Structure 1
Amino acid sequence: MRLALGIFRLQPAGGLERHALRIAGVLAERGHDVTLYTTQGTDSAPTGVKLSLLPNDGRTNHGSMDAFGQRFAEVGTDAELRIGFQRLPGLDVLFCADWCYLDRDHPKWAPLLPRYRTLTRLERACFDPSSKTKIITLSAPQLAAYVRAHGTQADRTVVLPPTIDPAHRATEPTDAAKRAAARHHFDLPERAVVWLWIGLQPMVKGLDRTLEALAKHPEAMLLICGTDRTNRKTASLLAAAERAGSGSRIRVVGMASDTQLKAAFAAADFLVHPARLDVTATVILEAMANGLPVVTTANCGFAPHVDAANAGLVVPVPFEQRVFETALTHAANAPRETWSRHAITYCANPRLYSGIEHACNLIEAGGNDEDWRRAAQAAEAGLSAPKP
């Protein structure tokens, strides 16, 4: 089939961007004619995938997304299916990694704002009952939020199993030699308690909460991957950490390659992910798949896997900084080697790596209601992962 895939940009390469490239690559491997439309490309497009750059016409974030939606609707008109990775008009299939915009807390005057009206219109283009777009979501709470807001029909929605890349899975916990080498690489003391934080959105993913806790844990060091000082909010948070006296205990990696991430997982004692909102928090399972215990918040889509595996601690919501800091203290003194073994065992389950294949099956079925129904049933059969 001729498939047109649309994603606003491919850089910086966060979780959604990596998903889009993996899906495009698998579809091309299956023999489809795949064109990926975007405003900002990448040098690492999968073999067989054609990249087509569209101009970025907007002056604001919401204006840019609206303009991209209009541009994407005008190109690739010979495609048999149109697949979007953001909420856009005219899609056959939406791969949705975002939380419902209408389900968020908005002030009463928000509907007066162009941003609110634009984002609401784009969301309704996919989720309103009058839409024909078939929708792939990543977690049950995420889908429930859309249904609450829009009344979206169940027969055109599906929740994927996790989408972890099996190439990134470890088969045994990190040994002492690899750990020492990784710590040397990041200039981390051998005996320090090392926290790993990964993300591009410092406030959404709780970097501020992590830095506040770091100031009260002088035995700990923090390794930051994803964001860096070019992000104004990150720079502000790091400057505040310097003033608090904890700057020397922070290492900022920025955008990390797969090799660097593997080293970061090996160097750390546990992942800290006190997010305010995270549809899945894929990084939780990525850490566990590398034997790294996790301290996270209960409002992350994949937080139940931490409890199911007995591979760390889940902080309840509503969030309290004091409770989070207590959890970090407990984690520093917990049997992390046991947590690590539990994580490795749990993440041997092949269901945790099946999401991308199911997503591609669903896209291929997007033009036929009965094929979609069968593909959706197969995807949702792989949702739950049993305890080890």
Structure 2
Amino acid sequence: MKMAFCLFKYFPFGGLQRDMLAIAKACMNRGHTVEVFCGLWEGDSPENISVNIVNITGFTNQRRNRSFYEGVQERLAKADFDLVFGFNKMPGLDVYYAADSCFATKAYEKKGLLYRLTKRARESLKYESAVFSRESTTQVLLIAEKEKSKFQRYYKTPDQRLHLLPPGIAKNRILPNNYLAVRTQFREEFDIQPDEKLLLALGSGFKTKGLDRSIRALSGLSDKEKANTKLFVVGKDNPASFIKLAKKLNVESMITFFSGRDDANRFLMGSDLLIHPAYFENTGTVLLEAMVSGLPVLTTDVCGYAYYVADEGMGVVDASPFDQSSFNKNLASLLCEPRDIWFDKGRRFSETADIYDLSNHVAELLEGFVLQS
């Protein structure tokens, strides 16, 4: 089968981008041909996958999104694909990978009429309707069960077109047998003392991930705890406003920023706590990555995968509405827990949880959709 994968922007270390590549490779391993149509591509091109760069014009996000859609349609009209698989909402898709939340919920429940009248909102609703409306034939792959009811509330999407996927965690995140040696080497490399606590904020999009909340939590620690605690922030984003906040709260010296890295598993094993107070997170794959790495988690209940943390007792899930003082207390409490118990819990979770087969599951679904068409 010949498949077209459509993604507005690719950059290394993005969650959606990693999922796209993993699914593409799974399809290719099953003997299919995959071509990627992308508006922007940062980093190296993958082996054996043809990447087609679509020219994008316009100064606004709304105009650039439309330009990408029009460019993709022009390219697809000149080729013969068995299936068109989109990772951004747009008309004309056979299958959509629903990594984004329901825009209609935001537009109608969190914004006013004036917002819905803007060109950006109207076009976003139009593209979302093209995927989810009752009249559409697009099959939808959901990665967050909580979003299903939201889409159906506004678009009456039939159940048979909505397919819930399992999580997809890379197995290289699982705690290796030599994890203590990896941890020791990592902490020596970054001059983390044995008695120091290292917090990890991992993921691109610092604002959505609640980095400001993490910085405020640092400032809420006692002087003794501050002297013994560091925060590593790893991800793609502009840190300027967060550095400014850290300076204002006198915790700048406790924080180190890193761009996206290939060795995130070392950061997970070398740290003492994943701090992830997201404002919104459709799933939160990093929570599961931390857990199978034996790293406890402090997060918020808006994350789709937060229930794994609660069910497995792998940290604390802060309840909504978010309260900074409560979050600060939970942080201080978790920092007092002995590190070894989390390695044992993480090992048991990694051996029993069904969280590794997303890409192959998607590949099987794509094959079935083509056979049914």
Provide the TM-score with structure 1 as the length reference: 0.89
Cα distance per residue 1:251-276 (max 9 Å; x no partner): 1111111x2x1221122101011001
Asked if residue 99 in structure 1 is aligned to residue 77 in structure 2, the reply is: no
Q: For 1:255, what is the secondary structure of its paired residue?
A: coil
Mapped partners of 1:3, 1:112: distance in 2? 36
In structure 1, the residue matched to 2:209 is 205
Superposition map of 1:1-388 within 5 A: 1-76=1-76, 77-104=79-106, 105-172=110-177, 174-175=179-180, 177-217=181-221, 218=226, 219-228=228-237, 231=238, 234-257=239-262, 259=263, 261-349=264-352, 351-369=354-372
Asked if the contact 2:12/2:42 (under 8 Å) is kept, the reply is: no
Mapped partners of 2:126, 2:12: distance in 1? 26
Mapped partners of 2:8, 2:209: distance in 1? 21
Deviation at 1:249, TM superposition (A): 0.8
Asked if the contact 1:22/1:46 (under 8 Å) is kept, the reply is: no
Deviation at 1:341, TM superposition (A): 1.3
Mapped partners of 1:58, 1:286: distance in 2? 37
Deviation at 1:106, TM superposition (A): 1.3
Deviation at 1:42, TM superposition (A): 4.8
Asked if the contact 1:56/1:64 (under 8 Å) is kept, the reply is: yes
Amino acid at match of 2:97: F
Mapped partners of 1:296, 1:43: distance in 2? 30
Deviation at 1:179, TM superposition (A): 2.1
Q: 1:317 to 1:369 in 2, by over 3 A?
A: farther
Cα distance per residue 1:125-167 (max 9 Å; x no partner): 1001111000001011022221122111110111100111123
Q: For 2:85, what is the secondary structure of its paired residue?
A: strand
Amino acid at match of 1:189: Q
Amino acid at match of 2:70: Q
Mapped partners of 1:75, 1:45: distance in 2? 19
Deviation at 1:300, TM superposition (A): 0.6
Mapped partners of 1:291, 1:34: distance in 2? 35
Amino acid at match of 1:320: D
Provide the TM-score with structure 2 as the length reference: 0.93
Gaps of 5+ in 2: none
Asked if the contact 1:36/1:51 (under 8 Å) is kept, the reply is: yes
Q: 1:357 to 1:334 in 2, by over 3 A?
A: same
After TM superposition, the structure 1 stretch with the greater mean CA deviation from structure 2, 331-340 or 77-86, is 331-340
Deviation at 1:287, TM superposition (A): 0.8
Say what the alpha-carbon RMSD is for the aligned residues: 1.7
Asked if the contact 1:2/1:80 (under 8 Å) is kept, the reply is: yes
Deviation at 1:33, TM superposition (A): 1.4
Q: 1:166 to 1:276 in 2, by over 3 A?
A: same
Mapped partners of 1:58, 1:187: distance in 2? 46
Q: For 1:319, what is the secondary structure of its paired residue?
A: coil
Deviation at 1:12, TM superposition (A): 4.7
Q: For 2:175, what is the secondary structure of its paired residue?
A: coil
After TM superposition, the structure 1 stretch with the greater mean CA deviation from structure 2, 274-283 or 244-253, is 244-253
Mapped partners of 1:43, 1:235: distance in 2? 23
Cα distance per residue 1:139-198 (max 9 Å; x no partner): 1102222112211111011110011112332245831x4323212323333321111001
In structure 2, the residue matched to 1:373 is none
Mapped partners of 2:162, 2:44: distance in 1? 31
Q: 1:64 to 1:186 in 2, by over 3 A?
A: farther
Amino acid at match of 1:223: F
Deviation at 1:296, TM superposition (A): 0.7
Amino acid at match of 2:183: R
Q: For 1:109, what is the secondary structure of its paired residue?
A: helix
Amino acid at match of 2:10: L
Asked if the contact 2:212/2:245 (under 8 Å) is kept, the reply is: no
Q: 1:86 to 1:365 in 2, by over 3 A?
A: same
Mapped partners of 1:25, 1:178: distance in 2? 29
Asked if the contact 2:11/2:43 (under 8 Å) is kept, the reply is: no
